[in-house]
Amino acid sequence: MTVSLARHSGFCFGVRRAIQLALDAAQGGQEIFTLGELIHNPQYVQQMADLGIKVVPSAADIHDSIVVIRSHGITKSELQQLTDNGNTIIDATCPYVSRTHDLVREAVTSGIQVLILGDPKHPEVIGMHSYGDQDTLVVAPGDEIPKLRDNRLCVISQTTQTIENLNDLVSKLLPDLLELRVFNTICLATSQRQQASACLAKNSDLMVVIGGRHSSNTRMLARLCAQYTETIHVETEAELKAEDFMGRQNIGLAAGASTPEETIVSVYNKIKKINGEPDAVTRISEIPLFKEESC
């Protein structure tokens, strides 16, 4: 059995930055709060809670404290409330997400209706939508396009969407519009991760996608890989069973942008142990990377 890891797996730049900002803030010994989970990985969120970095669900509950804004960003009104409540704010919003806020605001200011492609329940999309106006709409991939205000439109995407979903939406909109502005706001790390994972899936008997079940980009990876081969989505190595690997020859691993390296290492070691190979790795750099040249 061979086990290979897709390139660009694990923490992306935005997640690393958010975690580092929170950890740096916690060095002062004060209790640190995040409005919502800093990243969508329950195991890592618990580790941070043990270091004094606590999750609070509502901006109204935080007063005169140090607050780290999560990588997904927050709404315009939540930011205002945190400020009004006398908090010290450390903005760890991913720069790719911050750019979508600016684009939504600019389009609305120039009088163009905005349509956001993404999951309407995801905190990133909720934050994006808050910078729009009463005519700003959200559509999930594959859903029916809502009624538009006129024949001018600006399309902005959730950063973890696939380029295929964006292309599909644009192709449906274009014939009925006089003016269509499209911003490809899918982040580079997401695109690289999706391409590498799909390439590996095409050459694997089984894909194991590692990451939080509430992580949008991890779920997207699992759906993408499932188009090419059997795929299982796990949060930790404890979910792996020996029968998952019966008769498998080529196993592929991929991990979402909020998956810690130690979790990837643990999953790899568990698979090797199931296969009767006692040697374990201690760093992600020791896991064989899939050669994408074969795609």
Cα distance between residue 62 and residue 85, in whole Å: 7
pLDDT in tens, 86-109: 999 999 999 999 999 999 999 999
| Single pTM value for the model | 0.87
Q: Would you report the helix, strand and coil content of the chain in percent, each value rounded to 5?
A: 40, 20, 40
2-11+189-294: CATH architecture:
3-Layer(aba) Sandwich (3.40)
Q: Rounded CA gap, 84 and 82, in Å?
A: 6
What is the length of the chain?
A: 295
Active centre residues (catalytic) = 124
47 CA to centre of own chain? 19
**pLDDT given at position 293:** 67
pLDDT digits (tens, 9 = 90+) for 174-185: 999 999 999 999
Non-local CB neighbours of 122 within 8 Å, separated by 6+ positions: 72, 158, 216
- Give the per-residue pLDDT at 143: 96
153, 180 contact by CB (below 8 A):
yes
Domain boundaries for CATH 3.40.1010.20 within the chain: 2-11+189-294, 96-186
Chain region(s) in the chain for CATH 3.40.50.11270:
13-94
The pLDDT score that the predictor gives to residue 209 is: 98
Q: Report the pLDDT value the prediction gives residue 294, as an integer from 0 to 100.
A: 62
Q: Convert the pLDDT of each residue in 105-143 to its tens digit.
A: 999 999 999 999 999 999 999 999 999 999 999 999 999
Class of 96-186 in CATH: alpha beta
- Measured from the Cβ of residue 238, the count of other Cβ atoms closer than 10 Å reads 10
- Give me 170's structure tokens: 């644009």
Check whether 40 has a pLDDT greater than 90: no
Structure tokens at 291: 């050669």
Strands of 2-5's sheet in order across: 2-5, 250-255, 206-210, 230-234
* Residue range 13-94, CATH number: 3.40.50.11270
157, 185 Cβ separation under 8 angstroms: yes
What percentage of the chain exceeds 70 in pLDDT?
A: 99
